[in-house]
Amino acid sequence: MRRLVTISYTPLDAGGGVPKFNRDLHLAFPDRECIHYSWQDFPWHPEVDARGETEWGRARTLNEYLVRSRKVTTDDVVIADGFWADGLDHLPLVVSHSHGIWSHLTHEDSLAGMQPDMPLHHFVQVEFRRRWISQGKHITAVSEFIAEQMRLQWGFVVDRVINNGVDTNIWHPIDRSLETKPELISIVHGVNDPSNENKGWAHIQLLHDQLPGALILSLDQASEQFSDRYKPSVLAHADIVVHPSGFEGNSMFVAEALACGVPVIGYDVGFLYTLRNGPLCSVMDRSKRSPEYTLETVQSMLSDRHRLERARGIARTIATQHLDISHFRQEWRSYVEEIENA
């Protein structure tokens, strides 16, 4: 049985979406030896060529070291984050997994003449994938949104789209019939960095200004404020989740909220892109994205209790059908078996 090797910038036990993805991926293969390598796992010394300390330079340095030291071999299945596969193109079973579109530039943004946040990083990411795909190497995407953006902007076609997964036994609804309804409407969001306009802090600030009768907190804030610090329970108590990001690969926060049966109001990015024409009724058109549009949609949802209750049931159903961790594991096992047998 081949080993499964994951490679990214961050260690396996770090916070964030990519380390969680790698941990989930390892758990999907209990019958294999699973190993993770990251730049931060090694005590690099000044004499090591880190190619100017750029992230892509570090990726090549790490992979050259892994190959020279035979920590990765032709017998391994390697799944790497984006260009953290660079330098491994001679190995037969390496997958470059696209967690997002670098520099938050969508096809529509590009047509409108907008420039990427980090032009050089953007260029390197695109050129790596162009070279990778031209060699017939394996590439996957974390959502239909990411796959479609790569196709529209550069003509890249991925092998397979595999959504992130959540444990719907941990993230699940509460029995609201047993609850005493608080006076305040509770709105939970995931914007922890007010400086990150892509995440939409201005949208959250407008909700604070215009909805004084609502308790508006990030999930981290809500978990700290209430004595029950168990995040799945805190999230499940929310009336709605607002996710005003203008760009998202496949938000775990959105998946967790849907699994908890909490209606999500967000733009058609990430997994919500798949639901843009579906029954959720709270997926907004990103071409209209503005704090005012977000506020209007939130107010509309909160004013219709029947719609809110209906959305709760739909949210949970969507999560169990598309985002359960069992689907994630099944899809990855199927895909790895497919490329091994090709």
CB 86 within 8 A of CB 76: no
Nearest to 148 by CA among 3, 44, 264, 249: 249
Tokens at 64, concatenated: 């050259």
Q: What is the DSSP secondary-structure string of 46-61?
A: TTS--GGG-HHHHHHH
CA proximity to 79, closest of 136, 4, 137: 4
Give CA angle at 328 (327, 334), nearest 5°.
85
Residues of the chain with CATH 3.40.50.2000: 4-165+325-341, 176-323
Of 3.40.50.11540, 2.40.160.10, 3.40.50.2000, 3.20.20.70, the CATH number of 4-165+325-341 is 3.40.50.2000
Over residues 12-28, mean pLDDT: 95
Q: What is the pLDDT of residue 183?
A: 58
Is the per-residue pLDDT at 181 higher than 70?
A: no
Question: Of the given ranges (15-24, 95-104, 177-186, 216-225), which has the lowest mean pLDDT?
Answer: 177-186
Average pLDDT, rounded, for the chain: 91
Inter-helix orientation angle 305-318/252-259, to 10°: 110
- What's at 249, amino acid-wise? G
CATH class of 176-323: alpha beta
Name the token pair of 83.
Answer: 């260009």
Query: What pLDDT is attached to residue 277?
Result: 83
CB 39 within 8 A of CB 9: yes
CA atoms within 13 A on the CB side of 159: 21
Query: What is the pTM (predicted TM-score) of this model?
Result: 0.92
Q: Which two tokens stand for residue 102?
A: 């670098």
